[in-house]
Protein backbone atom coordinates (compact mmCIF):
# COMPACT_ATOMS: atom_id res chain seq x y z
CA UNK A 1 0.00 0.00 0.00
CA UNK A 2 1.29 3.43 -0.94
CA UNK A 3 0.31 6.40 1.23
CA UNK A 4 0.98 10.09 0.76
CA UNK A 5 -0.01 13.59 1.80
CA UNK A 6 -0.01 16.12 -1.03
CA UNK A 7 0.62 19.85 -0.68
CA UNK A 8 -1.73 20.84 -3.50
CA UNK A 9 -4.81 19.46 -5.23
CA UNK A 10 -2.58 17.46 -7.59
CA UNK A 11 0.16 14.87 -7.07
CA UNK A 12 2.98 17.21 -8.06
CA UNK A 13 4.25 17.96 -4.55
CA UNK A 14 3.95 15.75 -1.50
CA UNK A 15 4.50 16.52 2.19
CA UNK A 16 4.87 12.90 3.21
CA UNK A 17 5.07 9.58 1.37
CA UNK A 18 5.37 5.97 2.50
CA UNK A 19 5.04 2.43 1.15
CA UNK A 20 4.16 -0.48 3.41
CA UNK A 21 3.96 -4.25 2.96
CA UNK A 22 2.07 -6.75 5.06
CA UNK A 23 -0.86 -9.11 5.26
CA UNK A 24 -4.44 -7.95 4.79
CA UNK A 25 -5.01 -7.22 8.48
CA UNK A 26 -1.79 -5.22 8.77
CA UNK A 27 -2.61 -3.16 5.70
CA UNK A 28 -6.09 -2.37 7.02
CA UNK A 29 -4.69 -1.10 10.33
CA UNK A 30 -1.83 0.79 8.68
CA UNK A 31 -4.04 2.52 6.10
CA UNK A 32 -6.67 3.48 8.65
CA UNK A 33 -4.02 4.68 11.10
CA UNK A 34 -2.35 6.86 8.47
CA UNK A 35 -5.60 8.66 7.71
CA UNK A 36 -6.51 8.97 11.41
CA UNK A 37 -3.22 10.75 12.09
CA UNK A 38 -3.53 13.14 9.19
CA UNK A 39 -7.10 14.39 9.30
CA UNK A 40 -8.43 17.05 11.63
CA UNK A 41 -10.16 16.29 14.93
CA UNK A 42 -12.25 19.31 16.05
CA UNK A 43 -12.72 19.47 19.81
CA UNK A 44 -16.11 20.03 21.41
CA UNK A 45 -17.53 19.80 24.92
CA UNK A 46 -20.15 17.16 25.62
CA UNK A 47 -23.52 18.59 26.61
CA UNK A 48 -21.98 21.98 27.39
CA UNK A 49 -19.77 20.47 30.11
CA UNK A 50 -16.02 20.20 30.47
CA UNK A 51 -15.66 16.74 28.93
CA UNK A 52 -13.65 16.94 25.70
CA UNK A 53 -15.11 15.23 22.66
CA UNK A 54 -12.91 14.89 19.59
CA UNK A 55 -14.80 14.42 16.33
CA UNK A 56 -12.97 13.18 13.21
CA UNK A 57 -13.77 15.23 10.14
CA UNK A 58 -14.40 11.97 8.25
CA UNK A 59 -16.19 9.10 10.07
CA UNK A 60 -13.65 6.40 10.99
CA UNK A 61 -16.17 3.66 10.25
CA UNK A 62 -16.45 4.86 6.66
CA UNK A 63 -12.66 5.11 6.29
CA UNK A 64 -12.11 1.57 7.56
CA UNK A 65 -14.90 0.20 5.36
CA UNK A 66 -13.40 1.86 2.28
CA UNK A 67 -9.93 0.45 2.99
CA UNK A 68 -11.30 -3.06 3.56
CA UNK A 69 -13.34 -2.80 0.37
CA UNK A 70 -10.27 -1.68 -1.60
CA UNK A 71 -8.33 -4.76 -0.48
CA UNK A 72 -11.16 -7.25 -1.03
CA UNK A 73 -11.72 -6.07 -4.59
CA UNK A 74 -8.20 -5.27 -5.77
CA UNK A 75 -6.56 -7.15 -8.64
CA UNK A 76 -3.52 -8.82 -7.06
CA UNK A 77 -2.12 -9.65 -10.48
CA UNK A 78 -1.83 -5.94 -11.16
CA UNK A 79 1.59 -4.62 -10.04
CA UNK A 80 0.07 -1.28 -9.03
CA UNK A 81 -0.40 -0.81 -5.27
CA UNK A 82 -3.45 0.14 -3.27
CA UNK A 83 -3.20 3.87 -2.56
CA UNK A 84 -4.20 6.27 0.19
CA UNK A 85 -3.90 9.89 -0.95
CA UNK A 86 -4.59 12.81 1.37
CA UNK A 87 -5.19 16.29 -0.05
CA UNK A 88 -6.32 19.50 1.60
CA UNK A 89 -9.83 19.08 0.23
CA UNK A 90 -10.26 15.29 0.02
CA UNK A 91 -9.04 11.82 0.92
CA UNK A 92 -8.82 9.19 -1.83
CA UNK A 93 -8.65 5.41 -1.37
CA UNK A 94 -7.76 3.58 -4.59
CA UNK A 95 -7.46 -0.05 -5.60
CA UNK A 96 -6.31 -1.49 -8.94
CA UNK A 97 -8.78 -3.71 -10.75
CA UNK A 98 -11.71 -3.22 -13.09
CA UNK A 99 -15.19 -2.70 -11.67
CA UNK A 100 -17.64 -5.58 -12.37
CA UNK A 101 -18.84 -5.25 -15.94
CA UNK A 102 -22.40 -4.05 -16.33
CA UNK A 103 -22.60 -2.64 -12.80
CA UNK A 104 -22.40 0.84 -11.28
CA UNK A 105 -21.58 1.79 -7.68
CA UNK A 106 -25.20 2.85 -7.25
CA UNK A 107 -26.30 -0.75 -7.79
CA UNK A 108 -24.42 -1.87 -4.68
CA UNK A 109 -25.52 1.14 -2.65
CA UNK A 110 -29.11 0.08 -3.35
CA UNK A 111 -28.42 -3.44 -2.12
CA UNK A 112 -27.22 -5.42 -5.13
CA UNK A 113 -25.38 -8.58 -4.06
CA UNK A 114 -21.61 -8.50 -3.80
CA UNK A 115 -19.28 -9.75 -6.53
CA UNK A 116 -15.96 -10.02 -4.69
CA UNK A 117 -12.88 -10.36 -6.88
CA UNK A 118 -11.17 -12.28 -4.08
CA UNK A 119 -13.81 -14.44 -2.33
CA UNK A 120 -11.29 -16.18 -0.05
CA UNK A 121 -10.12 -12.81 1.31
CA UNK A 122 -13.72 -11.62 1.66
CA UNK A 123 -14.64 -14.78 3.55
CA UNK A 124 -11.59 -14.43 5.82
CA UNK A 125 -12.57 -10.87 6.74
CA UNK A 126 -16.15 -12.00 7.28
CA UNK A 127 -15.02 -14.75 9.67
CA UNK A 128 -12.78 -12.26 11.51
CA UNK A 129 -15.81 -9.93 11.79
CA UNK A 130 -14.05 -7.15 9.91
CA UNK A 131 -17.03 -7.11 7.54
CA UNK A 132 -20.65 -7.80 8.43
CA UNK A 133 -21.77 -9.33 5.18
CA UNK A 134 -20.73 -9.25 1.57
CA UNK A 135 -21.98 -6.44 -0.62
CA UNK A 136 -23.00 -3.97 2.11
CA UNK A 137 -19.82 -1.85 2.20
CA UNK A 138 -20.90 0.87 -0.22
CA UNK A 139 -24.24 1.20 1.52
CA UNK A 140 -22.69 1.50 4.99
CA UNK A 141 -20.17 4.08 3.78
CA UNK A 142 -22.97 6.11 2.21
CA UNK A 143 -25.18 5.94 5.31
CA UNK A 144 -22.42 6.86 7.76
CA UNK A 145 -21.23 9.79 5.63
CA UNK A 146 -24.79 11.01 5.15
CA UNK A 147 -25.32 11.16 8.92
CA UNK A 148 -22.05 13.07 9.33
CA UNK A 149 -22.89 15.40 6.42
CA UNK A 150 -19.78 14.28 4.54
CA UNK A 151 -19.77 14.13 0.75
CA UNK A 152 -18.50 10.81 -0.59
CA UNK A 153 -18.03 9.76 -4.20
CA UNK A 154 -17.46 6.33 -5.77
CA UNK A 155 -15.53 6.65 -9.00
CA UNK A 156 -14.70 4.03 -11.61
CA UNK A 157 -11.27 4.64 -13.14
CA UNK A 158 -9.70 3.06 -16.22
CA UNK A 159 -7.16 1.22 -14.10
CA UNK A 160 -9.11 0.74 -10.90
CA UNK A 161 -11.68 2.06 -8.47
CA UNK A 162 -11.63 4.99 -6.04
CA UNK A 163 -13.57 6.15 -3.01
CA UNK A 164 -13.29 9.90 -2.42
CA UNK A 165 -14.15 11.57 0.88
CA UNK A 166 -14.44 15.34 0.63
CA UNK A 167 -12.99 17.15 3.65
CA UNK A 168 -14.74 19.92 5.52
CA UNK A 169 -13.46 23.47 5.29
CA UNK A 170 -12.04 25.16 8.38
CA UNK A 171 -15.26 27.14 8.73
CA UNK A 172 -17.33 23.94 8.68
CA UNK A 173 -15.03 22.40 11.29
CA UNK A 174 -15.51 25.47 13.48
CA UNK A 175 -19.22 24.82 13.35
CA UNK A 176 -18.59 21.35 14.79
CA UNK A 177 -16.98 22.92 17.87
CA UNK A 178 -19.83 25.37 18.31
CA UNK A 179 -17.59 28.28 17.34
CA UNK A 180 -17.52 30.25 14.13
CA UNK A 181 -15.15 33.11 13.43
CA UNK A 182 -18.06 35.22 12.18
CA UNK A 183 -19.87 35.06 15.55
CA UNK A 184 -20.02 38.35 17.43
CA UNK A 185 -18.43 38.77 20.87
CA UNK A 186 -21.87 38.92 22.51
CA UNK A 187 -23.43 35.96 20.75
CA UNK A 188 -24.27 33.69 23.69
CA UNK A 189 -27.79 32.84 22.65
CA UNK A 190 -26.96 29.20 21.85
CA UNK A 191 -24.10 28.82 24.32
CA UNK A 192 -21.42 29.29 21.67
CA UNK A 193 -19.44 31.92 23.56
CA UNK A 194 -19.63 30.00 26.84
CA UNK A 195 -18.57 26.71 25.27
CA UNK A 196 -15.64 28.37 23.54
CA UNK A 197 -14.46 29.94 26.78
CA UNK A 198 -14.64 26.55 28.50
CA UNK A 199 -12.64 24.96 25.71
CA UNK A 200 -9.90 27.60 25.90
CA UNK A 201 -9.82 27.59 29.72
CA UNK A 202 -9.50 23.83 29.75
CA UNK A 203 -6.45 23.97 27.46
CA UNK A 204 -4.90 26.86 29.38
CA UNK A 205 -5.22 24.93 32.64
CA UNK A 206 -3.66 21.77 31.16
CA UNK A 207 -0.90 23.54 29.21
CA UNK A 208 -0.17 26.95 30.84
CA UNK A 209 2.67 27.70 28.43
CA UNK A 210 0.52 27.29 25.31
CA UNK A 211 0.53 30.21 22.87
CA UNK A 212 -2.53 31.81 21.30
CA UNK A 213 -1.44 30.48 17.91
CA UNK A 214 -1.22 26.95 19.32
CA UNK A 215 -4.67 27.39 20.87
CA UNK A 216 -6.03 28.29 17.46
CA UNK A 217 -4.42 25.24 15.84
CA UNK A 218 -5.56 22.77 18.51
CA UNK A 219 -9.16 23.98 18.61
CA UNK A 220 -9.66 24.87 14.93
CA UNK A 221 -10.86 28.29 16.12
CA UNK A 222 -9.60 31.32 14.21
CA UNK A 223 -6.67 33.17 15.78
CA UNK A 224 -8.70 36.38 15.81
CA UNK A 225 -11.44 34.71 17.83
CA UNK A 226 -8.91 33.15 20.23
CA UNK A 227 -7.35 36.57 20.87
CA UNK A 228 -10.79 38.08 21.49
CA UNK A 229 -11.74 35.38 23.99
CA UNK A 230 -8.36 35.65 25.75
CA UNK A 231 -8.77 39.39 26.09
CA UNK A 232 -12.26 38.98 27.56
CA UNK A 233 -11.01 36.40 30.08
CA UNK A 234 -8.21 38.75 31.13
CA UNK A 235 -10.66 41.65 31.55
CA UNK A 236 -12.82 39.43 33.78
CA UNK A 237 -9.70 38.64 35.84
CA UNK A 238 -10.20 34.93 35.15
CA UNK A 239 -6.70 34.56 33.70
CA UNK A 240 -3.53 36.61 33.52
CA UNK A 241 -0.31 36.32 31.58
CA UNK A 242 2.84 35.88 33.64
CA UNK A 243 6.07 36.72 31.82
CA UNK A 244 6.62 37.44 28.14
CA UNK A 245 4.49 36.28 25.23
CA UNK A 246 7.17 33.79 24.15
CA UNK A 247 8.46 32.47 27.48
CA UNK A 248 5.62 33.21 29.89
CA UNK A 249 2.60 31.20 31.03
CA UNK A 250 -1.08 31.59 31.81
CA UNK A 251 -2.17 31.82 35.45
CA UNK A 252 -5.71 30.81 36.40
CA UNK A 253 -7.21 33.23 38.96
CA UNK A 254 -9.97 32.67 41.51
CA UNK A 255 -12.51 34.02 39.07
CA UNK A 256 -12.59 30.75 37.13
CA UNK A 257 -16.13 29.36 37.04
Mean pLDDT of 177-192: 45
pLDDT of residue 59: 93
| pLDDT tens track for 64-77 | 999 999 999 999 99
Residues 233 and 239 sit within 8 Å (Cβ to Cβ)? yes
| pLDDT tens track for 155-173 | 999 889 999 999 988 777 7
Mean pLDDT of 190-209: 76
Rounded Cα distance, 83 and 92, in Å: 8
Least confident span in 44-53, 180-189, 229-238:
180-189
Mean pLDDT of 54-63: 90
CA angle at 29 for the pair 130 and 116, rounded to the nearest 5°: 45
pLDDT at 256 over 50: no
pLDDT at 247 over 90: no
Neighbour tally for 70: CB within 10 Å? 26
CA angle at 63 for the pair 60 and 66, rounded to the nearest 5°: 150
Output phi, psi for 153, to 5 deg. Answer: -135, 135
Task: For residue 8, name the pLDDT band (cuts at 50, 70, 90).
Answer: confident
CA angle at 59 for the pair 85 and 23, rounded to the nearest 5°: 55
Mean pLDDT of 170-196: 54
- Stronger pLDDT, 135 or 82, i.e. the higher one: 82
pLDDT at 5 over 50: yes
| pLDDT tens track for 77-131 | 999 999 999 999 999 999 998 888 888 888 888 876 667 788 898 888 888 888 7
- Please state the pTM of the whole predicted model: 0.67
pLDDT of residue 100: 83
Mean residue pLDDT of the chain comes to 83
- Stronger pLDDT, 9 or 175, i.e. the higher one: 9
Task: For residue 189, name the pLDDT band (cuts at 50, 70, 90).
Answer: very low
Amino acid sequence: MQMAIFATETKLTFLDIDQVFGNIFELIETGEGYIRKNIKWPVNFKSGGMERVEIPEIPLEAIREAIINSLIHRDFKNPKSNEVSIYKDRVEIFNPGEFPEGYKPEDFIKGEGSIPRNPLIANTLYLSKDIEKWGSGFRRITEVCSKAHIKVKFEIRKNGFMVIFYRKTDEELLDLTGENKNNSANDTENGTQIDTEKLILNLLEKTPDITQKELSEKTNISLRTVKRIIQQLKEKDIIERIGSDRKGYWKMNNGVK
